[in-house]
Amino acid sequence: MTPRGRLRAALCGQAVVAFAPLAWARLPEFLHLARTSAFWLDVGTTQRLLGDAAVVCTADACLVPLLPRLRSPEASSVGASPAASAASPASASSVGASPAASAASPASASSVGASPAASAASPASASSSACAASPVGTDEIAALPEVTAAVSLLGRLASVGRTGLIAELPPLAELGSLLPDAAPEDLEDALADLVRAGVEAGAEAVVIRGADGQYADRQDVGRTVDAIAPLADFYGAKVLGVDAERGWAADNCCPVGLLGPDGRWPDLARGVVLTAGDVTDWWTPHDMRAVLRERQGSRQ
């Protein structure tokens, strides 16, 4: 079974466990590359980076934030609340492994149809104003450069067809921080536009996640999941939610477990394992391999 097939089977409640980590905020550094601000605007390079990260993490799905600024360490400089920049990456001791500053290059990304990122040129320099500009109206949010880049990335990954795809979006309250003057119904319309763009580009599921390092109100995440579930279902996509404490799926289509920075795997016989935060904030590739060994040990 391919990783994409495993994700689809897990989302449908079959006796399969699919792993879908969030690996985004410090993706270039995770792969031992120099960071470029707003690297996600270079779609080709980001595709290669995600391909390599999927190999390192043995991931069945790539998570693609449709509003990347909310997952960026530079978020505070582009008018969004910081995602995880306040905290430094977790020590490798939390998973019983030493830091891998000199680790070998990540495995080849050929399994996801992309050339290794280690040999890629640095992402093209992007104008910070492309991310800093907030949309004039809620009907324009899907046309933001960061959103069109994320949708293009989903489309490219979908055309390869091996790794599953999940589009990530913030809850309505966090989206409202980008659209402070929007009425509640306009926020829901903007969210629907983003969901539609993501699933039409090839995402099998949408996950609603609060900001890393902050308390994500369960009711707000749950309300957002409920708001988009009918639209996602129309496209044949599932909706998942992650709040400060747990993960779940709309309509209980499958169990959802969370892997946290302690590296302890949830006890699931079927369903989807998401991460409680961004693995590139927590671990190096060396640490990730140690966590994966723990997963293998728990299965024995």
- Each residue of 159-168: pLDDT tens digit? 998 899 999 9
Is the distance from CB of 114 to CB of 51 less than 8 angstroms?
yes
Higher pLDDT, 117 or 220: 220
Q: Give the best-scoring range by mean pLDDT among 127-136, 191-200, 206-215.
A: 191-200
Higher pLDDT, 133 or 24: 24
Residue 61 has pLDDT above 90, yes or no: yes
Beta-sheet pairing, 247-249 with 238-242: antiparallel
Is the distance from CB of 229 to CB of 255 less than 8 angstroms?
no
* The predicted structure's pLDDT at residue 74: 65
Percent of the chain residues topping a pLDDT of 90: 65
What fold characterizes domain 3-299?
TIM Barrel (3.20.20)
At 109, is the pLDDT very low, low, confident or very high (cuts 50, 70, 90)? very low
**Could you tell me where the DSSP H helices lie in 117-272?**
128-132, 145-160, 172-178, 184-201, 218-234
What residue segments make up the domains of the chain, in order of their start?
3-299
* The predicted structure's pLDDT at residue 211: 64
* The predicted structure's pLDDT at residue 75: 53
- Report the distance separating Cα 23 and Cα 49, nearest Å: 10
Higher pLDDT, 263 or 73: 263
Q: Which phi and psi angles does 138 have, rounded to 5°?
A: -65, -25
* The predicted structure's pLDDT at residue 102: 36
- If phi over 0 gives left and psi between -120 and 50 gives alpha, with beta otherwise, what is residue 167? beta
Q: 3-class SS at 17?
A: strand
